[in-house]
Amino acid sequence: MANVPSKPSTPVKKESSSSSGIFATLAIPLCIVVAICIFIFILGDGSHYKGGNPDNDPVDIYGTVHKGGPIVPVIISFLLMVIVFSIERFIVIGKASGSGNVDAFVRKVQGFLNAGNIEAASAECDKQKGSVANVIKSGLKKYREVEADPSMDSEQKALAIQKDIEEATALEMPMLEQNLTIIATLVSIGTLVGLLGTVVGMIGAFAELASSGAPNQSALSTHISEALINTALGISTSALSIIMYNVFTSKIDKLTYAIDETGFSIVQTFASSHR
């Protein structure tokens, strides 16, 4: 009996999971292509250099960033991935929250539960929609099912409701957490690739210093600039990744807490009214 509400939801969740997987598969190479195009056609445009020649000194920030070398488009692609996946997560988590404020929805449902009005609580779930409402509605549906089942005692019925809520939660939560691992991975990769660009730039700078005679001041400054640009881009990408990851985990924790709080209220309401 506890598995009944889960069955209709499974294809929907599989479809959502598949859609997120396809999105990630397409978004990652697209970000790389766009980053390369930005590096070549925008940052590398001759208008950003003296005399319109990329071999000369840059005249603005675009040319300066372009001087960062071939690692720059790699970091730019990481930055684009953070932005793209952050927008995607905002949309998904926003839909999961439902059409109204989650805290207000939870208070309404708890009020109906305290009044013993299960139908009104279920109707509120229909109006709210989203993952939290789906889980709560599944628990309320099980509430009505076990209430009419004479083969179970009160304790078994309460456990059946609790199990149903846990199963519904297990179906909803992975959808919210999907693609967060990509943002979390970019936290480390952004810094590491930035450091790689720093090392490459410093290697070039020391190579100029090691050359016989007076070092080429222009080439030396170019290599040092390359090192610092890659450092700045890598740190910026990682910082943005950390902020977005923490924002999304905080939102997911809030939804999880709302589900747990309301689920506990459903079980407690049943237990207190069926002693």
pLDDT in tens, 160-192: 999 999 999 988 888 888 889 999 999 999 999
Q: Is residue 73 part of a domain?
A: yes
Residues 6+ apart with CB under 8 A from 244: 82, 86, 89, 183
Q: Is residue 169 part of a domain?
A: yes
Q: Is residue 16 part of a domain?
A: yes
According to the model, what pLDDT value does residue 178 have?
A: 85
Q: Is 233 exposed, middle or buried (0-12, 13-18, 19+ CB in 10 A)?
A: buried
Whether the Cβ atoms of residue 109 and residue 262 lie closer than 8 Å to each other = yes
- Split at pLDDT 50, 70, 90, the class of 150 is confident
- In this predicted structure, the answer to whether residue 84 has a pLDDT above a threshold of 80 is yes
- In this predicted structure, the answer to whether residue 5 has a pLDDT above a threshold of 50 is no
- Split at pLDDT 50, 70, 90, the class of 153 is confident
Sign of CA dihedral 257, 262, 266, 269: positive
The CA radius of gyration of the chain, in Å to the nearest whole number, is 27
Q: Is residue 1 part of a domain?
A: no
According to the model, what pLDDT value does residue 241 have?
A: 96
Start-end of H helices in 38-129: 61-66, 71-97, 102-114, 118-128
> Which structure tokens are listed for 238?
């990682």
117 CB neighbour count, 10 Å cutoff: 13
What number is the average pLDDT over the span 123-137? 91
According to the model, what pLDDT value does residue 4 have?
A: 39
Q: Cα(163)–Cα(191) distance, rounded to whole angstroms? A: 43
- In this predicted structure, the answer to whether residue 3 has a pLDDT above a threshold of 80 is no
- Split at pLDDT 50, 70, 90, the class of 14 is low
Q: Is residue 95 part of a domain?
A: yes
Q: pLDDT of 256-272, one tens digit each?
A: 998 888 888 888 888 88
Whether the Cβ atoms of residue 171 and residue 6 lie closer than 8 Å to each other = yes
Percent of the chain with pLDDT over 90: 50
37 CB neighbour count, 10 Å cutoff: 13
Specify the number of domains making up the chain. Answer: 1
Residues 6+ apart with CB under 8 A from 220: 205, 208, 209
pTM, two decimals, is 0.85
Whether the Cβ atoms of residue 157 and residue 270 lie closer than 8 Å to each other = yes
Indicate the angle between helix axes 130-147 and 154-177, nearest 10 degrees.
Answer: 160
Q: Is residue 173 part of a domain?
A: yes
Sign of CA dihedral 238, 248, 180, 36: negative
- Split at pLDDT 50, 70, 90, the class of 19 is confident
- In this predicted structure, the answer to whether residue 215 has a pLDDT above a threshold of 90 is no
Q: Is residue 134 part of a domain?
A: yes
Give residue 265's domain range.
6-273
